[in-house]
Every structure is written in structure tokens, then in C-alpha cells.
């Protein structure tokens, strides 16, 4: 597989926010390869299929073990498999999950919501973090809404919202496609009117939770490996 970066930090958003985590960022994103990245994308640098270093599963595992095991001790931190779009490399993702779950790690996979979650994928011992792209992303036509019915109570769905139109879109999708997953509204960094967004959640989306990107609040928009 082509790995863009591996780093140890804290999870910055969604239900796992604040939890120490090792990030495995795989290279390649279908939106970027098709020359249409989301307008708010902050990982364009990982979007090309060759944007990284070729590594085996064993090399990824050994890198993490060697680099941070003295810090971990007996604790096994959360593993977050992200991208790019990790489901471009479904076989690699399945193999990564196999290795790290056996080693005792909890695992979260972040996906952009444009790939069908197969029965094989949904049977994996992982928590899914699935985006539903809003209109301001430029890719709302790529959402696979059937995925929402496949998610469970430990999974999450994120709507990145930059304006009222996005919030109304999220409301419509939530009502139209019931899911057992946890629902998060996340402001588009530096764009969203936070008072407007919070008031909308309070009055029209009380079934959701606010997710802020805490890594950006502390380290800034452009920082990597944090």
C-alpha cells in the first residue's frame, strides 16, 4: 500500500475526539484523482495515489510498534485509518484491521461516503466514521445513502457544514435516511457562522452533536502530523 504518513496524536473530531490515536493516512482519493476535491479539503497533499511511501502491512505495524510502544506501555491506542480515501484500497484496509485488531487496538476508519460499504467491510471489528458530503463540498452528488442503514450504534456520520443550505441539507438527509449511527454536525473551519450553526442544531437538529476540529483550534489549519 502507499502510506502518506503515520503519526501519533489525539483524535480531533467526532465521538473519539480527545483520545490518543495513531493515524495511518493512506494515499489516494477518488475526488482528487478525478480533479474535484472537496472545497474544504485539508488533506489534498494525500490525494494522489502515489503521494507517499510504499509499505507492507508488516512495515506499518513495525513502524508503530518501534516508534511509540515505549510510550504506550501496556495500553493500546486507537488506530485511525484515514486518507485520502482508504476504501480505494479495500484489501489493504481489511489486512490492516486484521493485524491491529488481533494486537488489541480499537480501530476507526474514516471514509468520504462515496463507496458502497460491502458486507465484508461492515463485518470488520471497527468503528466507521462516514462523511455525508454537503452542497458546499462540491461532491454531494457522490453520497451513497444506502450506507446509512448499514451503520451501528458505535459508528458515526459527519456533516461538514459551511452555511444554512448545508444545515438544511443535513436535516433533510437525517429525516429521509434513518440510521443507528451517531450524528455529528461539524463546522467548515474558518467559514461557518458558529452562532448560526449552534442555534440551528438546538432548534432543528437536536438528535445531532456538534463536532469541532480541536486539532485545528490548537495547531492551526495547515499543521500536519498533529
Return the ∠ at Cα 17 (arms to 103 and 65), rounded to 5°: 25
Assess contact for 215 and 21: CB atoms under 8 A.
no
Assess contact for 147 and 173: CB atoms under 8 A.
no
Which residue in this structure is represented by grid cell 489525539?
10
Tell me the pLDDT tens digit for each residue of 173-184.
999 999 999 999
Assess contact for 162 and 188: CB atoms under 8 A.
yes
Rounded to whole angstroms, the Cα distance separating 81 from 177 reads: 26
> Which of 117-153 are b and which e, b meaning 16 or more Cβ less than 10 Å from the residue's Cβ?
beeebeebebbbbbbbbbebbbbbebbbeebbebbee
Q: Would you give per-residue pLDDT tens digits along the chain (226 residues)?
A: 999 999 999 999 999 999 999 999 999 999 999 999 999 998 999 999 999 999 999 999 999 999 988 888 888 999 999 999 999 989 999 999 999 999 999 999 999 999 999 999 999 999 999 999 999 999 999 999 999 999 999 999 999 999 999 999 999 999 999 999 999 999 997 777 999 999 999 999 999 999 988 877 767 666 677 6
Which residue in this structure is represented by grid cell 489493504?
92
Q: Which residue ranges form the domains of the chain, and what is each CATH number?
A: 2-219 (3.20.20.70)
DSSP designation for 71: H
Tell me the pLDDT tens digit for each residue of 115-130.
999 999 999 999 999 9
Sheet of strand 209-210: strand arrangement: 53-54, 2-10, 20-26, 78-82, 107-111, 127-131, 156-161, 182-187, 209-210
Amino acid at each position: 500500500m502507499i502510506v502518506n504518513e503515520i503519526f501519533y496524536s489525539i483524535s480531533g473530531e467526532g465521538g473519539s475526539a480527545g483520545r490518543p490515536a495513531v493515524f495511518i493516512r493512506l494515499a489516494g482519493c477518488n475526488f482528487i484523482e478525478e480533479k474535484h476535491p472537496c472545497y474544504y479539503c485539508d488533506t489534498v497533499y494525500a490525494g494522489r495515489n502515489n503521494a507517499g511511501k510504499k509499505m507492507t502491512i508488516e512495515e506499518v505495524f513495525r513502524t508503530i510498534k518501534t516508534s511509540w510502544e515505549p510510550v504506550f506501555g501496556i495500553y493500546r491506542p486507537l488506530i485511525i485509518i484515514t486518507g485520502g480515501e482508504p476504501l480505494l484500497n479495500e484489501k489493504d484496509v481489511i489486512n490492516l484491521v486484521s493485524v491491529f485488531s488481533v494486537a488489541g487496538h480499537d480501530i476507526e476508519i474514516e471514509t468520504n461516503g462515496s463507496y458502497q460499504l460491502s458486507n465484508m467491510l461492515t463485518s470488520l471489528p471497527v468503528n466507521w466514521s462516514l462523511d455525508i458530503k454537503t452542497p458546499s463540498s462540491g461532491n454531494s452528488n457522490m453520497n451513497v445513502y444506502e450506507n446509512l442503514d448499514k451503520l451501528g450504534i458505535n459508528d458515526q456520520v459527519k456533516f461538514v457544514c459551511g452555511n444554512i443550505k448545508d444545515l438544511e441539507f443535513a436535516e433533510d438527509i437525517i429525516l429521509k435516511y434513518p440510521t443507528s449511527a451517531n450524528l455529528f454536525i461539524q463546522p467548515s473551519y474558518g467559514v461557518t457562522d458558529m452562532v448560526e450553526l449552534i442555534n440551528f442544531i438546538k432548534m432543528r437538529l437536536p438528535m445531532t452533536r456538534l463536532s469541532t476540529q480541536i486539532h485545528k483550534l490548537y495547531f492551526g489549519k495547515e499543521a500536519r502530523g498533529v
